[in-house]
Amino acid sequence: MLLGLKVMFLIALLSYIIDIIQTKKNKKCSFKVNGILFFHHFIWTFALLGWVWNDPILNFCYLVTIPIYIFLWWINDDKCILTEYIKRKCNLGDDYKLNYLGDFSRSKEITRNLQKIYLTTAFLITVIRIYK
């Protein structure tokens, strides 16, 4: 489990650094908001890669986390609550697109649909792995 968390932490850190370099949003955001932005990158990295490691604790966390992500998108009009918070606190505007891992397309609709398909597939793989 520790190796998986370390790898995901490093990938999230890299994703976060690339995001702030590309967008220069760290100059507009407070230290607290940048911390939330890193957390956002970490939980999204976990959503993308948490199922990869065959660890019972990570698998359980993954099975709990993914339905929460999808539910939060659903109640927030297909938008991430953390993304909306960061955009609001940094005065980035509604059309601003954060750069993060798993950004499959420049089209928000295509990206969101591909993300849902990916997360559902990874979720089902994790369920099968646990009950196998």
Q: Answer whether 98's CB lies under 8 Å from 23's CB.
A: yes
Q: Which of 1-5, 16-20, 87-91, 100-104 has the lowest mean pLDDT?
A: 100-104
Q: Please spell the DSSP secondary structure of 52-105, one letter per residue.
A: TS--HHHHHHHHHHHHHHHHHHHHTTT--HHHHHHHHHTT--TT-----TT---
* Confidence check: pLDDT of 11 > 80: yes
Q: What pLDDT score does 127 carry?
A: 92
Q: What pLDDT score does 108 carry?
A: 67
* Confidence check: pLDDT of 102 > 70: no
* Confidence check: pLDDT of 77 > 60: yes
Q: How confident is the model at residue 106 (pLDDT cuts 50, 70, 90)?
A: low
Q: What pLDDT score does 79 carry?
A: 82
pLDDT tens-digit readout, 115-126:
888 889 999 999
What pTM was estimated for this model as a whole?
A: 0.82
